Amino acid sequence: QLQLQESGPGLVKPSETLSLLCTVSGGSITSGSYYWGWIRQPPGKGLEWIGSIYSSGSTNYSPSLKSRVTISVDTSKNQFSLNLSSVTAADTAVYYCARRPEIVEVPAATTPGAFDIWGQGTMLTVSS
Amino acid sequence: QSVLTQPPSVSGAPGQRVTISCTGSSSNIGAGYDVHWYQQLPGTAPKLLIYANSNRPSGVPDRFSGSKSGTSASLAITGLQAEDEADYYCQSYDSSLSAWVFGGGTKLTVL
C-alpha cells in the first residue's frame, strides 16, 4: 500500500528558504503515470495547491508562488522535495504531499485524476 | 477569496440529507473541468471522497454522491452520521490561472 510521509525542519526564519521532503514507500515513484504534488493549509484556513512534478521531472507551479518555488524529484531515494524561498509568516502552514494520477478511467471516458493519496502533513512555522 | 465558492458551514441532524455547493466560473467548472471532493476530519489530512464529479473511490460509502451542472457542483450526503462531521473541500482546474484550485471549505456539523 503506497504511503507518503513529509519531513521538514518545523521552524524557519523569515527570508530563509523552506525545504521539505516527501518520502514515498510501498511503491516506486517512477511506476505508472503520476504527478507528485505539494498542497498547504494555513492554520484554520483552506487548502492551496503549491505545485506538482511528474516522474519524468516536468513541473508546474501555482502562479502565485511560482517565483519562489522549486519542486524536484530524487528517483534513487524515492523522494520528491519542495523548496520555497524568501519565506514570511504568511507561509506558516501544514504542508501536505500528495499523489495525482495523470489520468483515470470513468464511465466512457478518461480524465485527469484527483489527489488520491496524501501524506499526514508537516507543520512549518515561519518565525524569528 | 477562493476561486471556487463554498458555503462556510452546513448542518443537519442524524439521518438527514445535506448538500454542499461549489460554485465556479467559465474558466474552471464551466469550462468542463472535473470537480473533486475531499473530506478532512479534525486534525487529519484530506481524504478523496468523490473524483471526476460523481465517482466514489473504493471504500467510500454510497451515502456520498456528487453532481455537476454548468458552473457549479454539489456534494450530497444522505443518512447523516456523527462521523461525517468534518470539513469538505471541492477542487477543480482553472485555465485562466493554469492552476489546480480549491474551494474555501465547508464545515459540516451533525446536530
Q: What is the pLDDT of residues B3-18, one digit of tens each?
A: 999 999 999 999 999 9
Min distance B1 CA to chain A CA atoms (Å): 10
Candidates B4, B41, B44, B51: best to mutate against A (most CBs of A within 10 A) is B51
Inter-chain residue contact A48 with B102, CB threshold 8 Å: yes
For residues B64 and B58, what is the distance between their CA atoms, to the nearest angstrom? Answer: 12
Return the CA Rg of chain A: 15
A121 touches chain B (CB under 8 A): yes
pLDDT in tens, A76-86: 999 999 999 99
Q: What pLDDT is recorded for position A2? A: 95
Residues B89 and B98 sit within 8 Å (Cβ to Cβ): no
Candidates A1, A39, A47, A111: best to mutate against B (most CBs of B within 10 A) is A47
Segments of chain A with pLDDT less than 50? none
Inter-chain residue contact B98 with A115, CB threshold 8 Å: no
Inter-chain residue contact B99 with A104, CB threshold 8 Å: no
Nearest C-alpha neighbor of B105 from the set B84, B85, B90, B83: B90
Nearest C-alpha neighbor of A19 from the set A27, A32, A10: A10
Q: What pLDDT is recorded for position B28? A: 96
User: Which helix (H) or strand (E) segment is B89 a member of?
Assistant: strand B86-94
pLDDT in tens, B66-75: 999 999 999 9
